[in-house]
Structure formats: structure tokens, C-alpha cells
Copies of this chain bind each other. A is one copy, B any other.
Amino acid sequence: MNNDRKDVTKLHSRRKRALQSVKSQLSDVDLWRSSAAEFLATFIFIFIVCLSHMMAPSTAANTALDARSKQLISYASDPLQTSVGIALTYATLIQCFEKISGGHMNPAVTFAMVIAGHMTVVKAAVFCLAQLGGSFTAAALCYGMFPSENQQMNAVSRLHEGLEPLQGFGIEVLQSVVLIVTWLATYATSQSQLGSSAIPVGMAYLANTLWAGRLTGSSMNPVRSLPPALLSKYYTNLWVYIAGPIIGCSVGAVLYTYVFVTPDRKPRA
């Protein structure tokens, strides 16, 4: 009975300490500053992603456009220009926000950073909410600017017609593995040497977009795909774009942190 009471007391004090840790983390001004930065970065990124896809001329969608939208997309864009524009925006925003919040703009990346031991669960949870908020605000703004439903569908992540959902899932997983390993491989060295993950991670993003863009739309990011899907009420294969990046980034983080790591991380053979 004395023992039981001890255990209960222990449990109580553990919970108490955990709660206090959560409380002290949540009262840290730095957490809210960096979460605001994640909100802003994600807002800018998703705004530009949606805008770029909505302005791209799509043969299927051109018929039902209103006059104003037709004018806006009259300037033809090729897929290379759109891909390079989005990837460089991603790299630039990482450069801008890296020292403030890390510049993730992606819950799958934030989750993988927890796995890799670079972030606490509490901070990651607040970041995810900020990323969701930023992305929904951005998508809603774009949907307001482009009233045509056909054009709005251009912003929705969709699988190529010739692709099975499971194949699409595999391709999103593969892209996310490559993306997160690039994040992690440049994370440790970014401060002393290159100063930034921006260029390597931006390159990884562009590389993925150029080979997989035509297959899955190359999302790699739940908050890039969720808001347009909900706003357009298009739920087909949505699970691919939620589960794919989260599973891919988790697998990549486990591989990099726990499997392919030498005790001393010595640079090369």
C-alpha cells in the first residue's frame, strides 16, 4: 500500500513535470515567433504554388473560363518555367526563414525533424497548426482571385490518368524520402559551412518536380494538397497526398538517422 502510494505519487509528479515542460515551452516567446514565421512562409509558398498552377494554361480547362481569367492566363507558360519558379521560391523562403524557424513549410518535414531528434513534439505540433493555417489562408485567397472552377482544379494535386493510386503513393513516398534526406544531410553542416540548406533542398525539390510532376503533381507536402482539395471538394486519391509525404519523410528520417549512420559520421570512405 505504501508502495502503491509511492507509484501514484511518482506518476503524478511525472505527469506534472511533463505538463510543466509543455507549459514552459508554450510560454516561450521564441516558439510563437518561429510559429508565426512558419505561418508566413507557408502562406507565401502555397500562394505562389496555387497561383502558378492556376495561371498555367490547361487544354481541358480553357473552354469554361470567364473573360478575366482568360486574360490572366494568356501568357503561355511551359512546365519547366513553372517548376523552376516554384522550386526557387521554395529555396528562397528556406533561405529567408531558416534562421528563424527552420523554414519547413511542411508538416511531414517537421514530423521527420522530431524523429531525427532536432525538435520537440510540442513545438512540432504548434508548427503544424501554423502551416495548416498559412496554407488554407493562401489557397482561399487564390480561389477568391480565380473564380473559374476549371482553373481552381489546376491547383488540385491529381494523379496522371495512366497511374494506379498505389503507384502514385509509391512515387510520393520516393520523392519525400529524397527530400527529407537532403534536409537532414545538409542540416548538421549548414551552419558552419554552406550557411544554408536552401540551395541543396531547393535542388532536390526541383529534381523531383521535373521527373514526377507529370505523374503525381509532385506534392511531397500535405498542406500543399489538402487546402485545394477541400476547397474544390475533390477527394479522389487525397490519401496519397497525405499519407505519402508523411510516410516517406518518416522512412527517410529513420534511414538517415538510425540505419545509414556511422558512429562518428565520418565524411567519406
Contact = CB atoms under 8 A, between A and B. Distances in A.
A135 interface: no
Contact of A92 (B72, B83, B118, B203): B203
A113 to B, nearest CB: 8
Contacts of A91: 203, 207
Given A33-B262, A92-B203, A207-B85, A44 B174 contact: yes
Interface string A195-216: 1101110111011101100110
A63 interface: no
Interface stretch (A11-19, A182-190, A232-240): A182-190
A254 interface: no
Query: Chain copies in the assembly?
Result: 4
A88 B203 CA distance: 6
Given A75-B214, A204-B92, A101 B51 contact: no
A260 B100 contact: yes
A128 interface: no
The A interface, classified by DSSP as helix, strand, loop or mixed, is helix
A121 to B, nearest CB: 13
Contacts of A77: 79, 214
Counting chain B CB atoms within 10 Å of each CB, which of A79, A163, A195, A268 scores highest?
Answer: A268
A194 B194 contact: yes
Nearest to A194: B195
Interface string A107-146: 0000000000011000100000000000000000000010
> Top 5 A-B pairs ranked by shortest CB distance?
A85-B210, A71-B162, A88-B207, A72-B162, A75-B214
